[in-house]
């Protein structure tokens, strides 16, 4: 899951990003409203977390702007503005939730999970292909009767491949969804992580699930 965090306090932004990454989220950070608007309209995000008091463009204006652009992903206000009138204005402007600073990080995570569940009652929490099972809530991965331990980045990579099973995904597509927008696609980091993932989920099992499309990328599927 890819999140855009728009927060001008760099210490707060670093704290939130670190905590979200530890919980298997990919996070891009913008430090002012203009940069946040640019990223929101150029990249695809599953969730946007906004402060209201931002330089260059405040959070209300940013939210209204991205909604006019047809961006419908959930938007979450995380702000020090705690008056009832501020909360009402934020929600009436199109936000899906509102949390006042200072906040509990566990509450932030719970609210993010709730937003992801909202309106997705038919969405599966567990995906299976061949004998591999991936639980997107607990992040538990099993192949047959064997539980597979993955690093956070390996899990994100596997989840992205599984969600796009039987479709070829390029290295650029992987970098945009599993790494942040500063990632250098020229490096071989993606290939290294793919190899590590293969060693864990394919090496001692059949059929192989991760296939290389030479010169293009990878596809996750059963068989050749």
pLDDT for the residue 183? 58
Q: Which residue has the higher pLDDT, 209 or 117?
A: 209
Mean pLDDT, the chain, integer = 86
Of 15, 112, 20, 95, nearest in space to 59 by CA: 95
Average pLDDT over residues 31-54: 92
The two tokens of residue 178 are 């599993």
pLDDT for residue 102 is more than 70 = yes
Of 151, 141, 152, nearest in space to 202 by CA: 141
The Cα 170–Cα 219 span in angstroms is 9
The domain 126-220 is placed in CATH, from the list 3.30.43.10, 1.10.565.10, 1.10.10.10, 3.20.20.10, at 1.10.10.10
Adjacent-strand bridge partners of 147: 142
pLDDT for residue 118 is more than 70 = no
pLDDT for the residue 176? 74
The Cα 74–Cα 158 span in angstroms is 24
15-29, 180-194, 195-209: least confident range: 180-194
Q: Which residue has the higher pLDDT, 119 or 109?
A: 109
14-18, 49-53, 62-66, 114-118: least confident range: 114-118
Q: What are the structural domain ranges in the chain?
A: 2-117, 126-220
pLDDT for residue 124 is more than 70 = no
The Cα 178–Cα 204 span in angstroms is 25
The Cα 65–Cα 62 span in angstroms is 5
pLDDT in tens, 133-172: 998 778 889 998 999 999 888 998 998 898 888 888 888 8
The Cα 69–Cα 66 span in angstroms is 5
Answer for the pair 105, 19: CB distance below 8 angstroms, yes or no: yes
The domain 2-117 is placed in CATH, from the list 3.40.50.2300, 1.10.357.10, 3.30.200.20, 3.90.550.10, at 3.40.50.2300
Average pLDDT over residues 121-132: 74
The Cα 218–Cα 210 span in angstroms is 7
- Beta-carbon contacts of 52 under 8 Å, excluding residues fewer than 6 positions away, are 58, 59, 60, 77, 79, 81, 86, 90
pLDDT in tens, 66-84: 998 888 889 999 989 889 9
């Amino acid at each position: 899951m890819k999140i855009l965090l728009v927060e001008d306090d760099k210490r707060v932004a670093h704290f939130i990003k670190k905590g979200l990454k530890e919980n298997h989220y990919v996070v891009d950070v913008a430090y002012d409203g203009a940069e946040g608007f640019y990223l929101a309209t150029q990249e695809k995000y599953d969730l946007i977390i906004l402060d209201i008091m931002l330089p260059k463009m405040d959070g209300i204006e940013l939210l209204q702007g991205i909604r006019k652009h047809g961006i419908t992903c959930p938007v979450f206000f995380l702000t020090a503005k705690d008056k009832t009138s501020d909360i009402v204005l934020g929600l009436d402007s199109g936000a899906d939730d509102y949390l006042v600073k200072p906040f509990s990080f566990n509450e932030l995570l719970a609210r993010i999970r709730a937003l992801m569940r909202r309106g997705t009652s038919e969405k599966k929490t567990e995906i299976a292909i061949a004998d591999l099972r991936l639980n997107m809530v607990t992040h538990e991965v099993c192949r047959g009767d064997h539980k597979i331990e993955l690093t956070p980045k390996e899990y994100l990579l596997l989840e992205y491949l599984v969600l796009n099973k039987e479709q070829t995904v390029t290295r650029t597509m992987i970098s945009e969804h599993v790494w942040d927008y500063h990632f250098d696609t020229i490096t071989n980091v993606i290939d290294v992580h793919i190899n590590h993932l293969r060693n864990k989920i394919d090496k001692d099992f059949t059929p192989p699930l991760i296939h290389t499309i030479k010169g293009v990328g990878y596809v996750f599927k059963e068989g050749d």
